[in-house]
Amino acid sequence: MKKIIISLFVLTFIGCSSGPVIQTATPERDVANFRTCFELMADIMGYKPIYGSATGNYDKAKNLAELEEMYGGESLIEIQRNIPNAEILANNANVRKLLNAPYKVEEMKGKISSVPTKDTQTIYDAMENSNVNKNHHCYDTKGTIGFCFGRATIAHMEAIVREVHPDAVKKIWIAGDMGVWGHHVATMVHTEKGWRVLDTNQGRLVTPDQWIDIYMKEKQKNAKDIMIYITQAGRFGPYDTRSYNAIDLFNTNSDEFVKAKDYFNGYFHDYFQSLDNFKNKPAVQKK
């Protein structure tokens, strides 16, 4: 049986730094590195935004794609606030059932649909050991950002560059009153043993049920139940269905980059620049 080793970079990523070099307000950094790297990743991850109003009846969804369609283009936080608690509980039970059901994606040449456990650990380790995660305090100096969405983005990117099928990577979200935070997100990868959640808060790979059980304990006294959601991995935030974009990630919509004006203090800029540094790695190997 052939096994795909995903610990190395793929050839399709070699052109990540192509394009003109544009000097910015921080001369040692070039837009051609982090911006074109980000743009290439956005092109290959296959995200399809969903629009319209939420439909409700989430417990009736027959699969994960149908469930996401039911959210429409609405804020996940507002959905939790606006539906009765009984519907939240029914949704949560259905989400658990869908996550434990058999899951298949359409075959795509060169893409991995079910990732070996040890290679899923490789993706987790890449997220945990990323320069921005290890230097988290430099970007979240007041401890008010958290960057769960940043780590989820990194896990997504690290899976994509290792040729994991775009549909075999998703994000799992929760929304509700958890004290300091009103929502949390992590990336999931479909493995040979089912879905596994990559969340450095847990310090290890966990099953969706384990992840959900941990965070359900964060519900504040007398608050509504926490609601669980599953979306495509390309969804950036809980408030709308926009994918990754220059305004959200870099606080710019032009070729100008001023780190002092970046709300995230260069978190995504520095991550995508470090990702670009792998451009000369050899292709995925088979044996």
Spatial distance between the Cα atoms of 257 and 264, rounded to a whole number of angstroms: 13
In tens, the pLDDT along 231-282 reads 999 999 999 999 998 889 988 776 677 777 788 999 998 999 888 876 434 3
Rounded to a whole number of angstroms, the CA Rg of the chain reads 19
| pLDDT at position 69 | 98
Contacts of 195 (CB under 8 A, 6+ apart): 99, 103, 170, 188, 189, 207, 208
The count of structural domains within the chain is 1
Choose between 242 and 36: higher pLDDT.
242
**Residue 11, pLDDT above cutoff 50:** no
Q: What is the pTM of this model?
A: 0.87
State which residues form the domain around 36.
4-286
In angstroms, the CA 33 to CA 19 distance is 9
